[in-house]
Amino acid sequence: MTTIHAKGISRRGWLRWTVILSAAAALPGRVWAAVARPEAAFGATALDDALAALGDTPQVHEGIQFTTPDIAENGAVVPIRVEVDSQALPNVSKVSVLVEMNPNPLAASFDIPPGTEVYIETRVKVAQTCTLYAVAEADGQLYMQSRETKVTLGGCGG
């Protein structure tokens, strides 16, 4: 089985990562008055319903740079990156990631305070080959970029 990443994870390399284990389940400090969790959008089981719950229909916008792999080795972990050029599309306050054919298309939504780059890297589950959407909200209007990712049937057993 070829390794996805032949270079091992050296413990030494990982020392640059530090972890502070707080035994007590400390409540997050001052919770920034975050926008409430878009429960309706998360509950939606169809793409259009999820988009409607996030706002009106998004228009495609070239200022959104949405990177996904053309082919994912496995649908359980699909790395994605959303980057918005603030000159081309200013005042972005929220970025959402949707996976069209997932049971619940809305995978994640990020509130972005002023001063934070509009840059998100994460990994999502993609149930089957379909279109992924990056939706940015700026001044109450929704903009989007989409890309298709093929999920291959891995392994021998099928």
Q: Compare residues 51 and 107 and give the one whose CB is closer to other proteins.
A: 107
Q: Which one of residues 53, 91, 125, 131 is an interface residue with other proteins (CB under 8 A)?
A: 125
Which positions from 71 to 110 touch other proteins by CB under 8 A, shown as an x/- string? Answer: xxxx-xxxxxx-----------------x--xxx-xxxxx
Residue 140 touches other proteins, criterion: CB under 8 A: no
Choose the stretch contacting other proteins; rule: CB under 8 A; options: 58-66, 70-78, 134-142.
70-78
**What's the rounded Cα separation, in Å, for the pair 95 and 87?**
16
Using CB under 8 A as the binding criterion, the count of chain residues that bind other proteins stands at 80
**What's the rounded Cα separation, in Å, for the pair 85 and 13?**
32
Q: Which of residues 21-60 bind other proteins (CB under 8 A)?
A: 21-32, 34-35, 37-38, 42
Contact 108, 94 (CB under 8 A): no
* Dihedral, CA of residue 47, residue 53, residue 54 and residue 56, to nearest 10: 90
Q: Compare residues 4 and 60 and give the one whose CB is closer to other proteins.
A: 4
Per the DSSP assignment, residues forming a β-bridge with 88 are: none
Question: Among 75, 76, 84, 70, which Cα is nearest to 135's?
Answer: 84
Choose the stretch contacting other proteins; rule: CB under 8 A; options: 14-22, 58-66, 134-142.
14-22
Q: Which one of residues 48, 56, 62, 117 is an interface residue with other proteins (CB under 8 A)?
A: 117
Label the pairing between strands 106-111 and 64-67.
unpaired
